[in-house]
């Protein structure tokens, strides 16, 4: 069911980071607050899918939130992701998996609001500057402000995540749980990051090598971080050095900085997720993140960087969803890739009307 519903009077305190670039965004933030309008009351509440099934798990239950732009590319991934979320939650060990919300930052509901619990957020008023994920932190600010979220913890996930098995609440003692991204390198970019994380805030190593997803975090902590994450993202995008240095992962760096500015540490879990084709086995991972293309010849040898005789790449389906029954990889391809394709096929086989959807 769809979910955009306002909470009423309470608004988040907008936390501005102590750096000159962030002050440039203050007037924008004030106008953002005044532009938060109640969303259509005809959509049921976002929390319709929000209660953990077992009362004993309520205290540690987390709500899964996935941001999406509403285009065809994001939408089919969200449908697959939500299928496996439901499978994991109903399985033994899924007792801490609470509700689910697709946070749609297109400003309008899509055709699947009756399938996926959805909160409709406004995009940035001044546009995303050609960087669509710049809308993500602003969407979280709106969702946290307006939605009635029952759980005390949030899992931030993404459309191209497939949940392999039930996820427990991995956060502990006020620290969030996060994945270590090898390409988030605060020390390497210390000179740039000091514009946003001044020296009086501490060593650069206080910035963890993380993005905002996957992260399990206390809702209260995320409520403090999200406005700063938005501020820093916008400030970084306006800063030529930061924009050039961080590129497509800019908002990941912004989240890591915002988390450090608020003193929220992160427990890094290498098994939080895997990323085929580089990770060869699923192992103990909870999530498959299929951000990279998987290309192989018919002997099972990788041809990464060159289109293979067999391939699975989500970018092949930017304009329309993949058909059911994608061909399985040839013998010799890593187990992680085989599992990924099998799980996509199983999801599309069970999601209603996939054939007509894929043909549209």
**In this predicted model, what pLDDT tens digit does every residue of 53-77 receive, in sequence order?**
444 456 899 999 999 999 999 999 9
Residue 282 to residues 278, 320, 325, Cα–Cα distance (Å) = 11, 28, 21
Q: Among 123-127, 191-195, 206-210, 292-296, whose mean pLDDT is lowest?
A: 123-127
What's the pLDDT at 126? 87
User: What torsion, rounded to 10 degrees, do the Cα atoms 324, 325, 328, 334 define?
Assistant: 50
What rounded mean pLDDT belongs to the chain? 86
Q: Identify the residue whose tokens are 């890739």.
A: 337
Question: Cβ(122)–Cβ(107) under 8 Å?
Answer: yes
Distance of CA 285 to the CA centre of its chain: 17
Residue 293 to residues 161, 180, 183, 307, 308, Cα–Cα distance (Å) = 14, 20, 17, 9, 10
**What percentage of the chain's residues is helix, strand, coil (to nearest 5)?**
40, 15, 50
Q: And the tokens for 191?
A: 């000179």
Q: And the tokens for 33?
A: 């607050």
Residues of the chain with CATH 3.90.550.10: 62-269
Question: Cβ(87)–Cβ(332) under 8 Å?
Answer: no
Q: Among 56-60, 216-220, 316-320, 327-331, whose mean pLDDT is lowest?
A: 56-60
What's the pLDDT at 11? 32
Question: Cβ(139)–Cβ(118) under 8 Å?
Answer: no
Task: Please report, rounded to a whole number, the percentage of residues in the chain having pLDDT higher than 70.
Answer: 83
What's the pLDDT at 49? 52
Whether 13 has a pLDDT exceeding 70, the answer reads no
CATH superfamily membership of 62-269:
Spore Coat Polysaccharide Biosynthesis Protein SpsA; Chain A (3.90.550.10)
What's the pLDDT at 29? 38
């Amino acid at each position: 069911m769809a979910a955009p519903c306002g909470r009423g009077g309470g608004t988040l305190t907008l936390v501005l980071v102590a750096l000159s670039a962030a002050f440039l965004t203050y007037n924008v933030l004030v106008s953002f607050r005044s532009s938060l309008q109640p969303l259509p009351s005809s959509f049921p509440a976002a929390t319709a899918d929000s209660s953990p099934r077992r009362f004993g798990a309520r205290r540690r239950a987390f709500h899964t939130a996935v941001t999406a732009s509403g285009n065809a590319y994001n939408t089919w991934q969200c449908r697959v992701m939500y299928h496996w979320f439901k499978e994991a939650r109903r399985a033994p060990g899924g007792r801490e998996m609470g509700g689910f919300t697709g946070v749609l930052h297109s400003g309008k509901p899509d055709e699947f609001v009756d399938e996926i619990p959805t909160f409709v957020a406004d995009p940035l008023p001044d546009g995303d500057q050609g960087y669509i994920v710049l809308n993500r932190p602003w969407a979280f600010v709106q969702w946290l402000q307006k939605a009635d979220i029952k759980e005390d913890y949030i899992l931030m996930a993404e459309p191209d995540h497939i949940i392999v098995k039930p996820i427990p609440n991995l956060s502990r003692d006020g620290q969030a749980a996060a994945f270590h991204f090898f390409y988030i390198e605060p020390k390497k970019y210390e000179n740039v990051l000091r514009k946003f994380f001044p020296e009086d805030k501490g060593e650069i190593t206080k910035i963890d090598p993380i993005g905002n997803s996957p992260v399990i975090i206390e809702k209260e902590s995320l409520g403090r971080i999200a406005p700063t994450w938005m501020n820093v993202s916008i400030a970084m995008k306006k800063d030529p050095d930061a924009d050039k240095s961080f590129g497509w992962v800019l908002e990941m760096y912004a989240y890591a900085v915002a988390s450090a500015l608020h003193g929220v540490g992160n427990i890094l879990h290498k098994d939080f997720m895997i990323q085929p084709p580089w990770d060869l086995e699923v192992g103990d991972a909870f999530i498959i993140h299929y951000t990279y293309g998987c290309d192989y010849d018919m002997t099972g040898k990788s041809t990464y960087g060159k289109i293979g005789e067999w391939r699975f790449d989500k970018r092949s389906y930017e304009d329309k969803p993949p058909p059911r029954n994608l061909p399985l990889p040839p013998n010799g391809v890593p187990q992680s890739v085989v599992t990924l394709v099998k799980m996509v096929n199983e999801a599309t086989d069970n999601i209603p009307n996939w054939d007509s959807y894929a043909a549209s």
